């Protein structure tokens, strides 16, 4: 079953439970498909055990109100917490499933007594959550849906991908093992034919994607954590892990120390208020950009390879301002 059909079936369930019986024509119009497709979808729902009631006089279908998603006994604190979070996260954050969660919260809010609605408005006015929005082009949304279908059916895809590390647009056949949402972006992890190994691809850098007919099997020993090893974020590099030590000036030491940047990190405070930040990572390229963000307030103590990489970045930055 592809993603489009799943979304259509969910739409039908929403229509049929909306309190007003639906005829085939109204459902076909709402879903943008033919009457024949609606009849097939209704049979799919029946086969799944959904009790469709049919009014022969009006030729209309509905689902009894007693079936499906019975009310949950939430405490007032639980209900308010869910709704405040869904209201305050805001649109455009790039969070997965956010739109559906907000619609659910709106339905929950409408069922509240008036005094709780007032309480919700008061709490919402005192809470604000800021997340960095991410520009997800339409091509990325289409690629994401294709990858969901391909991964679910274990089918390969062929992609054209703008690769920063390769410095060019590459074409590769990809077996999409797993989709992963991290730091406001979707990634796909799978075996790449051009690399002959498992690689990570950022979905919004996929320029074209085509689903193929041939299938794949995920290796039994594949696990996302095992693949990522101790990558600073998403890109593990070949070779052994490296022990990184960075000294941060007192001005930024507290800012660095109070955040769990990596699962292996250790923070050691110095007498002058600076810290030595220690972390074990699978590759130095990703962490180099994080270090550069602290400018002169960060100094790499080890390893030498990371010192050289940071120095090379710094030289190129200076060249940009001297030209």
The mean pLDDT of the chain is 84
In this structure, what token pair is assigned to residue 305? 């390879």
Which pLDDT band holds residue 62 (cuts at 50, 70, 90)? confident
Residues ≥6 apart with Cβ < 8 Å to 155 = 149, 211, 212, 213, 214, 215, 216
In this structure, what token pair is assigned to residue 198? 């498992």
Residues ≥6 apart with Cβ < 8 Å to 168 = none
In this structure, the dihedral spanned by the alpha carbons of residues 227, 231, 235 and 237, taken in order and rounded to 10 degrees, is -80
Give this prediction's pTM. 0.60
In this predicted structure, what is the pLDDT of residue 99?
Answer: 66
Highest mean pLDDT among 41-45, 85-89, 97-101, 172-176: 172-176
Per DSSP, helices labelled H in the chain are 3-16, 24-31, 35-47, 76-88, 98-110, 114-126, 138-152, 224-228, 250-257, 285-292, 304-322
Which pLDDT band holds residue 72 (cuts at 50, 70, 90)? low
DSSP state for residue 22 in the 8-state scheme: B
| Whether the Cβ atoms of residue 45 and residue 56 lie closer than 8 Å to each other | no
Which pLDDT band holds residue 113 (cuts at 50, 70, 90)? low
Rounded CA separation 111/123 (Å): 18
CB atoms within 10 A of CB 12: 23
| Whether the Cβ atoms of residue 200 and residue 187 lie closer than 8 Å to each other | yes
- Name the more confident of 157 and 103: 157
DSSP state for residue 45 in the 8-state scheme: H
| Whether the Cβ atoms of residue 53 and residue 60 lie closer than 8 Å to each other | no
In this structure, the dihedral spanned by the alpha carbons of residues 299, 301, 303 and 305, taken in order and rounded to 10 degrees, is 40
Q: Is 46's pLDDT higher than 70?
A: yes
Per DSSP, helices labelled H in 19-152 are 24-31, 35-47, 76-88, 98-110, 114-126, 138-152
Q: What is the pLDDT of residues 122-151, one digit of tens each?
A: 766 676 666 666 555 555 677 888 898 898
Rounded CA separation 15/20 (Å): 8
Report in angstroms the alpha-carbon separations of 245 from 122, 251, 277.
47, 18, 6
CA atoms 258, 261, 263, 266: torsion sign = negative
Q: Is 190's pLDDT higher than 80?
A: yes
**Listed range (240-244, 252-256, 293-297, 318-322) with the worst mean pLDDT:** 318-322
Residues ≥6 apart with Cβ < 8 Å to 270 = 247, 276
């Amino acid at each position: 079953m592809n993603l489009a059909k799943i979304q259509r079936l969910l739409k039908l369930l929403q229509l049929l439970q909306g309190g007003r019986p639906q005829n085939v024509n109204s459902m076909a119009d709402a879903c943008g498909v033919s009457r024949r497709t609606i009849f097939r979808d209704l049979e799919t729902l029946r086969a799944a055990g959904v009790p469709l009631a049919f009014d022969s006089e009006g030729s209309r279908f509905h689902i009894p109100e007693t079936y499906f998603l019975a009310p949950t006994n939430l405490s007032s604190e639980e209900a308010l917490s869910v709704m405040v979070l869904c209201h305050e996260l805001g649109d455009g954050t790039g969070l997965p499933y956010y739109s559906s969660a907000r619609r659910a919260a709106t339905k929950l809010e409408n069922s509240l007594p008036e005094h709780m609605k007032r309480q919700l408005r008061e709490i919402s006015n005192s809470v604000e959550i800021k997340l960095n929005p991410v520009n997800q082009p339409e091509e990325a949304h289409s690629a994401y849906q294709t990858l969901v279908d391909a991964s679910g059916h274990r089918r390969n895809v062929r992609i054209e991908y703008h690769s920063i590390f390769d410095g060019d647009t590459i074409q590769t056949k990809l077996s999409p093992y797993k989709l992963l949402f991290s730091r406001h972006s979707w990634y796909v992890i799978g075996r790449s034919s051009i690399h002959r190994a498992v690689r990570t691809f950022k979905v919004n850098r996929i320029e074209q994607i085509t689903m193929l007919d041939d299938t794949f099997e995920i290796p039994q020993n594949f696990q996302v954590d095992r693949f990522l090893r101790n990558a600073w974020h998403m890109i593990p590099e070949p070779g052994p892990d490296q022990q990184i030590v960075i000294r941060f000036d007192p001005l930024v030491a507290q800012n660095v120390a109070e955040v769990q940047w990596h699962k292996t990190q250790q923070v050691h405070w110095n007498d002058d208020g600076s810290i030595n930040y220690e972390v074990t990572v699978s590759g130095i390229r990703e962490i180099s950009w994080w270090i550069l963000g602290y400018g002169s307030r960060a100094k790499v103590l080890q390893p030498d390879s990371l010192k050289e990489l940071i120095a090379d970045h710094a030289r190129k930055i200076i060249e940009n301002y001297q030209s």
